[in-house]
């Protein structure tokens, strides 16, 4: 690979999962895609097949891995692409969260899951994965927190819907586009 070639990341948040429907903090819980989530993933195939990638990667959690298989093909699995580990908050319903945990997640700053990961630990884990990538175009099937963490790195902190595609020029730390599902 040409070391002068830029690193471009195509990020795909997994399709709707059963816990997304209930607005639960999912983290490392390995929950399946819903039928809608499977349809969302299949709907990505035409757009993704039109692109050429040097690597296709996925979180090891079923919802991301199944999205990859339905939307593109077999990925290389890496657990560093997992969602943040919510520890004791795993499975909590968003609307029932109170106080500092909800505010820190909403603002995406200063969050530390009791018995789980902090945003700093999530960032360190995800960036270690990206640091191992070779230059070129890489397709990553991952989770909302990971996508938000990487968007934050390019000054675009925001949460994205299921099966949103985000393209980042990682070399220049710039957002190329965000394509939300129709």
Domain boundaries, position 131: 7-179
Does some domain include residue 48? Answer: yes
Catalytic residues: 14, 83
pLDDT tens-digit profile of 34-81? 999 999 999 999 999 999 999 999 999 999 999 999 999 999 999 999
Domain count, the chain: 1
pLDDT tens digit sequence for 89-119? 999 999 888 888 888 888 888 899 899 999 9
The pLDDT assigned to 3 comes to 62
Q: What's the confidence (pLDDT) of residue 54?
A: 97
SS (H, E, C) 81-100: HCCCCCHHHCCCEHHHCCHH
What is residue 97's predicted lDDT score, i.e. its pLDDT?
Answer: 87
Position 182 scores a pLDDT of 79
CATH code where residue 129 lies: 3.40.50.1240
Asked, for residue 2, whether it belongs to a domain, the answer is no
Residue-wise pLDDT for 72-97, tens only, equals: 999 999 999 999 999 999 999 998 88
Q: Is residue 86 part of a domain?
A: yes
Give the pLDDT score at 101. 84
The pLDDT confidence band at residue 2, using thresholds 50, 70 and 90, is low
Asked, for residue 15, whether it belongs to a domain, the answer is: yes
What pTM was estimated for this model as a whole?
A: 0.95
Domain assignment present for 1: no
């Amino acid at each position: 690979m040409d070391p002068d070639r830029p690193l471009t990341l195509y990020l795909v948040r997994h399709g709707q999962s059963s816990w997304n429907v209930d607005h639960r903090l999912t983290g490392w819980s390995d929950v399946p895609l819903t039928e809608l989530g499977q349809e969302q993933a299949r709907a990505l195939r035409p757009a993704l097949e039109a692109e050429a990638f040097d690597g296709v990667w996925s979180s090891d959690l079923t919802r991301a891995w199944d999205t990859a298989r339905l939307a593109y093909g077999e990925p290389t699995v890496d657990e560093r692409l997992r969602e943040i580990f919510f520890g004791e908050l795993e499975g909590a319903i968003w609307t029932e969260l109170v106080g500092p945990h909800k505010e820190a997640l909403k603002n995406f700053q200063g969050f530390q899951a009791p018995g789980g990961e902090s945003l700093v630990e999530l960032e360190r884990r995800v960036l270690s994965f990206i640091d191992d990538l070779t230059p070129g175009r890489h397709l990553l099937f991952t989770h909302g927190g990971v996508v938000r963490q990487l968007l934050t790195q390019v000054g675009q902190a925001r949460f994205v819907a299921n099966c949103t595609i985000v393209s980042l020029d990682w070399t220049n730390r710039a957002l190329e586009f965000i394509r939300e599902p129709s």
